[in-house]
Structure 1
Amino acid sequence: MLSCMSLVAYSQHKNKHQADIVIYGGTSAGVIAAVQATKMGKSVIVVSPDLHLGGLSASGLGFTDTGDKSVIGGLARTFYQRVYQHYQQANAWNWQKKEEYGNKGQGTPAIDGKDRTMWIFEPHVAEQIMEDFVKENKLTIYRNEWLARKAGLEMKDGKIINIKTLSGKIFTGKMFIDATYEGDLMAAAKVSYHVGREANAVYQEKWNGVQAMVFQHSHYFNNKIDPYKTPGDKTSGMLTGISADQPGLNGTADRKLQAYCYRMCLTDRPENRIEFPKPDRYNPMDYELLLRVFNAGWNELFNKYDPIPNHKTDTNNHGPFSTDFIGMNYDYPEATYAKRKEIIKTHENYQKGLMYFMANDPRMPKDIQQRFKKWGLAKDEFKDNGNWPYQIYVREARRMIGDFVMTEHEVLGKKEVPNPIGMGSYALDSHNVQRYVTHEGYVQNEGDIGVKAPKPYSISYQAIVPKKTECKNLLVPVCLSSSHIAYGSVRMEPVFMILGESAATAAALAIDHKINIQDVNYSQLKNLLLNQKQYLTLAN
């Protein structure tokens, strides 16, 4: 038997863990970064708040925002090649014949036989590929471990020495990577960051800041919809989700965020379908505005039920009133874990309530309701979470402010990018930020922007490293240094995987040369990334 002193020593040893590279976050970027760290011969630990790995890629976002697939390389492309290999197997098609699936993708066909890639997939397939990466590379993952954000980080001479989780575990490393959607490790290290929209004047942009009455998608009210509980009666109060405040002058700054939602995996296959559950909190009046939209003639409800294999969908926000819970996430980035849980639960109740309302409320247009009732949650997805996605879509939270900031000028090809480590190609894409009443007295949404990038663009190494005066051994491939509107393009899952791989490569170089992350020799880094089949510029 162990003595009391031995038990104490054992307990202390048990709670202390060490690796060359410590990654905080079990997102797609975190897993890919860990794989690359191992390939570079470095010991690595992934500290994941989540039980399920892969972030949004494994939580409903299966209709990939590819942009230009030709610039997706390295381990990110390996992931999509694994998807292709999975769906080449006959037993992958449980609810549908492969030849019945079709080949619809976003910006590219779903299945590319020539390149042996597939860009569209079911959530459980993505998660299994992530777990295969873990097993094959013998990755060490600590799940359900949450950074102690107030006093859980020890720094010395501008470097993180270790991080501590709420369970008491301590993780010591030479290099750290923040792969979370929220940027919690970055913030705990007191690295500069921004929340919300900058004024256009800050970076001489056009599409940042408030963008009232600018309509570039279809997510706005194109009919005159009354905002009041009793139509025409201001004294009756406004319907749920409409702000009493005006949005502000166009181009000005605020601390508001583009809306979050869940990317639901739905199915119309009866044998695999579960009826939409009634949420814990449900009030039909929360959806009165949607009824008015339908009654005004809107009929695009099913336009973003994007098909993924086996009679399933990646269902995204679409239209003026949809799954985006506009205006209800502003506090999320800086909130405590308890407050974030409340915000997430409120979003879950809203979105489940929306589905339940459309399926059951007798005031729904009958033709739409009958068609809608053919859909439900997929029985074979998210099986330990009531068939509901694990991860809410945190489209934007904190964004680091480094020595170099990605702006719309780089995305739109108007400025060159120094020291590229990967590429993006998606449009400047922001979802709505607020819902308000116009001066004419009608409801309207604000903040939805979609400006096409004319060609793929490079992302700078300096965009994923903090200022040297703030932290010398941290990389931030997800909450990178970017303006709000540029982040609207960068924030795609393939790009996060690309930047995760590049971050791990740079971290390994810094360890090998015993230097700060800002002092990594770019020529050496570039050569390694090119050898990894990463795409850095259109010329490479």
Structure 2
Amino acid sequence: MKSILSIFIVLCYFNSTAQTNTTHQADIVIYGGTSSAIVAAVKAKQLGHSVLVVSPDKHLGGVSSSGLGYTDSGNSRLIGGLSKTFYQKVYNYYQDIKVWHWESMEDFHGEGQGTSAINTQSKTMWVFEPHAAEHIFDTWVAENNITVLKEEWLDRNKPIIKASTTIKSFYTLSGKKIEGKIFIDATYEGDLMAAAGVSYHVGRESNAVYNETYNGVQKEVYQHKHNFKKLKISPYLSPRHKESGLLAKISNQNPGKNGDGDHRVEAYCFRMCLTKVPHNRIPISKPEDYNPMDYELLARVYKKGWKATFQKFDGIPNLKTDVNNHGPFSMDNIGMNYDYPEASYEERKAIAIEHRRYQEGLLYFTATDSRVPKKIREEMQKWGYPKDEFTDNGGFPHQLYVREARRMVGDYVMTEHNVLGKSDTNASIGVGSYALDSHNTQRYVTAEGHVENEGDIGVEPPHPYKIDKGTILPKASECTNLIVPVCVSSSHTAYGSIRMEPVFMILGESASQIASLAIQNKVKVQDVNYKELQPLLIKSGQILENK
């Protein structure tokens, strides 16, 4: 999976980072460059605090500015506060006719997910180009005079400096010392949280842990169309000969019993932005180490008559698309990310490179291989990477879509019971509404000798649900000045609903409001009084009721 060249490049990058032994201080230190991190920073600054964003990323906004332009909005009416402000900024951005380079505003007829693409009543827009989102985040940071240290990585080989349960400082790989009163870990991976000694979980809990139904192994649970259910495809190199060995990307491990917990993590992918516009298109080309046999499973799917290749090419402005996983063999690189959550930076980079090569190869295979139906090949040949997106990365997204990594285990753990309306809270800091949604976690061989995917769930809640304050707070016995709005305290199945970008922004804003009160009242983040917090969240436009 890891080529020698890839590893060499990564090691050179980290070893060449300049050593600068300087100290940076702020009331509220936010680690991460995600959408949640930027919203948290804006809120903290609005509340009058000194703020420092320490971002491992060069480009701000996480996957919101890295290809995920077709927003997983759920019930958009329940997205408030600065999260809603972001989508209003998107709306305002596209009111300028000068940003419509490849089509006119009038000709754009995209649709949003669960909402209209453009809501003229609320002046929000729910689909957008990657560079537009990055521009909005960058402008937001500049307007609020927020200090951002980009490409600064937590030094995971140096212990975080703590006084009992209070973080005092941490170091970056470049030698910077970062000091603060309150720390917010707004990364997808939860590295600061883990380094602070906070409890967390990786993988799926068994259903028995929280008395759930949709956690753990979910064999033959078919709630989407991302499976081989009726196709009955052989997993072997030579279809009728088990001794020939397995095709690429198929596990030789026992998939486990339904409901049992395991170490497996739902699949990642890059949310790719593609275009058909000839003058703005970088042609799809053969990636390094391309092996057409890596896509033999897809060839067999086509042979069975599958025709949904372009089903999730969701339209975004300027004749581009946000491409998501769809079908039994697609953009999700199933089973190739299990090590990612706890991996070193070098190992994560290698995993991301492998995911990129997989998806580049998938596009190339679909556009060129004779095993692909001619009509599909000809259609794919019309697509390419946009020249005006990810201009320093060959038109390819910067950020791997890390759907789930570590999840904190606090005193309060959200479960599917919250999402499905069987449990409620009196300390709401935001509302979620998306389905319990997990992508597949493994591709295995069934007892009948066929290939199958496992782990995909999609259960709609009966109504929106409230997110408890404790969801973003560690146990007080472990850390009293850390807030975690992304790797939240939840079960795997509940996280499938919470893990949407608008919700991460909602929780980022609530995190900064809690941080502000903790500083103001000189108390632990866990001791912030909800009766004091609630009216401040409401005043800022946050929506706390699931109605």
TM-score scaled by structure 2?
Answer: 0.95
Say whether the 8 Å CA contact 1:28–1:57 is kept in structure 2. yes
CA drift at 1:152: 4.3
| Structure 2 match to 1:66 | 73
Q: Does 1:277 align with 2:285?
A: yes
Alignment of 1:79-478 (within 5 A): 79-221=86-228, 222-478=230-486
Q: Secondary structure at the match of 1:450?
A: strand
Aligned to 2:536, which of 512, 528, 531?
Answer: 528
| Amino acid in structure 1 at the alignment position of 2:486 | V
Distance 2:285 2:378 in 1: 17
Matched pairs, number: 529
Distance 1:13 1:313 in 2: 41
Q: Secondary structure at the match of 2:516?
A: helix
| Amino acid in structure 1 at the alignment position of 2:136 | I
Q: Secondary structure at the match of 1:235?
A: strand
Moved more, 304-313 or 244-253: 244-253
Q: Deviations over 1:325-356 (max 9, x none)?
A: 00000000011111111111111111111111
| Structure 1 match to 2:4 | none
Q: Secondary structure at the match of 2:523?
A: coil
| Structure 1 match to 2:45 | 38
Instruction: Flag structure 2 segments of 5+ consecutive residues without an equivalent.
Output: 1-17
Distance 1:417 1:369 in 2: 52
Q: Secondary structure at the match of 2:311?
A: helix
Quote the RMSD (CA, aligned, Å): 1.2
Question: Per the alignment, do residues 525 and 450 of structure 1 end up closer, same or farther by CA in structure 2, a change over 3 Å counting?
Answer: same
| Amino acid in structure 1 at the alignment position of 2:39 | I
Distance 1:26 1:167 in 2: 17
Q: Deviations over 1:248-292 (max 9, x none)?
A: 110000010000000000011111111113222211110011000
CA drift at 1:362: 2.6
Q: Secondary structure at the match of 1:171?
A: strand
Q: Secondary structure at the match of 2:294?
A: helix
| Structure 2 match to 1:3 | none
Say whether the 8 Å CA contact 1:121–1:309 is kept in structure 2. yes
CA drift at 1:136: 0.4
Q: Does 1:55 align with 2:57?
A: no
Say whether the 8 Å CA contact 1:266–1:378 is kept in structure 2. yes
Say whether the 8 Å CA contact 2:110–2:317 is kept in structure 1. no
Q: Deviations over 1:13-68 (max 9, x none)?
A: 96101000000001000000000000110000000000000001000000000000
| Structure 1 match to 2:514 | 506
CA drift at 1:417: 1.9
Q: Does 1:493 align with 2:501?
A: yes
CA drift at 1:367: 1.2
CA drift at 1:246: 2.3
Distance 1:37 1:127 in 2: 20
Question: Per the alignment, do residues 374 and 510 of structure 1 end up closer, same or farther by CA in structure 2, a change over 3 Å counting?
Answer: same
Q: Deviations over 1:68-126 (max 9, x none)?
A: 00110000100000000111111121101212211411000000001100000000000
| Structure 1 match to 2:13 | none
Distance 1:111 1:71 in 2: 16
Say whether the 8 Å CA contact 2:110–2:316 is kept in structure 1. no
Question: Per the alignment, do residues 14 and 444 of structure 1 end up closer, same or farther by CA in structure 2, a change over 3 Å counting?
Answer: closer
| Amino acid in structure 1 at the alignment position of 2:82 | L
| Amino acid in structure 2 at the alignment position of 1:462 | G
| Amino acid in structure 1 at the alignment position of 2:416 | E
| Amino acid in structure 2 at the alignment position of 1:514 | K
Q: Secondary structure at the match of 2:378?
A: helix
Q: Deviations over 1:190-243 (max 9, x none)?
A: 100000000001101000000000100010013111111111011110100011
TM-score scaled by structure 1?
Answer: 0.97
CA drift at 1:157: 1.8
Question: Per the alignment, do residues 285 and 269 of structure 1 end up closer, same or farther by CA in structure 2, a change over 3 Å counting?
Answer: same
| Amino acid in structure 2 at the alignment position of 1:185 | L
Distance 2:253 2:24 in 1: 50
Say whether the 8 Å CA contact 1:428–1:449 is kept in structure 2. yes
Identity over aligned residues, as a percent?
Answer: 60
Q: Deviations over 1:144-183 (max 9, x none)?
A: 0000113141001210000110000001000000000000
Say whether the 8 Å CA contact 1:465–1:517 is kept in structure 2. yes
Q: Secondary structure at the match of 2:233?
A: coil
Distance 1:212 1:14 in 2: 52
Q: Secondary structure at the match of 1:22?
A: strand
Distance 1:66 1:79 in 2: 13
Distance 2:173 2:204 in 1: 32
Q: Secondary structure at the match of 2:219?
A: coil
Say whether the 8 Å CA contact 1:152–1:165 is kept in structure 2. no
Distance 1:335 1:364 in 2: 36
Question: Per the alignment, do residues 189 and 374 of structure 1 end up closer, same or farther by CA in structure 2, a change over 3 Å counting?
Answer: same
| Structure 2 match to 1:7 | none
Question: Per the alignment, do residues 279 and 152 of structure 1 end up closer, same or farther by CA in structure 2, a change over 3 Å counting?
Answer: farther
Question: Per the alignment, do residues 241 and 14 of structure 1 end up closer, same or farther by CA in structure 2, a change over 3 Å counting?
Answer: closer
Q: Deviations over 1:388-414 (max 9, x none)?
A: 101000000000000110100000111
| Structure 2 match to 1:19 | 26
| Amino acid in structure 1 at the alignment position of 2:278 | P
Regions of 4+ moved over 6 Å:
11-14
Question: Per the alignment, do residues 14 and 241 of structure 1 end up closer, same or farther by CA in structure 2, a change over 3 Å counting?
Answer: closer
CA drift at 1:505: 0.6
Distance 1:103 1:271 in 2: 21
| Amino acid in structure 1 at the alignment position of 2:427 | N
Q: Deviations over 1:413-465 (max 9, x none)?
A: 11112411011100000000000111111100000000001211111110101
| Structure 2 match to 1:5 | none
